[in-house]
Structure 1
Amino acid sequence: MYKEQDIYLKDNTLTVKKDVYPLSKILTIEAKELRLKDQLIRILCISLAVSAVGWAFLPIVGPVLMLIGALFAVLTSKKYELRAEFSGTDESGDHWAPLARGRRAEEFALFKTIAESIDR
């Protein structure tokens, strides 16, 4: 669970636990409530990635690993996310990255507070 001392602004940087992000690299930041579609995409991606290992080495365990991956994704799912859009440093362009994820409404309130204080 994230607390106020875990996420804070200081000297033009955003600190999330031990990770430090310079505000000059952040284009946009938002607190997002993850919907069913977001969860299903995450579950599908994780289960396919895990099953690909099985299909590559021993095809008979591929479906079992897919179920294990889906179960893992469901058990580790979060409801809220603080994410930022970073400016690209090469030809890949700008990209979104999750900074923190949480399950409780208190965490979402903290994420919204941080997003509103950084939003330009």
Structure 2
Amino acid sequence: MRSNIDGKRLVDRIRKYYKADDFQVSDDGLSVGKDFYGLNKIKRVEVRQLGWRENAVNIVSLALVLSAATWAFVPQFGLIALALTFVIGFSCWRKYELRAEFIGTDETGDHWVAIARGCTKEEYSVFKEVERTMRNQV
């Protein structure tokens, strides 16, 4: 039981949990920490619940890209890199995502960008509140 509590404390130190204070909505745009997103570029904002499929795609993509680079330059460590990147990928597992659709400035068109990702119900409620506020402004 003790090791589980110590593991949670370690994760809490490494992972940053979003709070309502981390988001500042103004007439000009949305600030998330040090990042600023202008309202004139945002088309829509939504909160998504991420399932196992979205997370699995992220994990496999990360593992393949990082291990392929290792196999290209140091082949003897390729399998170790693949296993390690799977572990890293699972540590990046998220349940909720606040994302915005940005108006395309070139021929590529509009695109969605993840602004913040979280795991807890508290973060989900913060994301929903930001979404409600942004819908009134966009």
TM-score tier (shorter): over 0.9
Contact 2:71 2:77 survives alignment (8 Å): yes
Match of 1:54 among 53, 64, 70: 70
Write the distance in 1 (CA, Å) between the matches of 2:110 and 2:72.
33
- 1:28 is matched with which residue? 44
Q: Which runs of 4+ in 1 moved over 4 A?
A: none
TM-score by length of 1: 0.93
Identity between Structure 1 and Structure 2 (%): 38
Contact 2:98 2:116 survives alignment (8 Å): yes
Match of 2:104 among 65, 88, 107: 88
Greater share of residues in strand: 1
Secondary structure of the structure 1 residue equivalent to 2:85? helix
Greater Cα radius of gyration, structure 1 or 2: 2
TM-score by length of 2: 0.81
Give unpaired runs (5+ residues) of structure 2. Answer: 1-16
Write the distance in 1 (CA, Å) between the matches of 2:72 and 2:126.
43
Aligned length: 120
Contact 2:102 2:111 survives alignment (8 Å): yes
The root-mean-square deviation of aligned C-alpha atoms, in Å, is 1.2
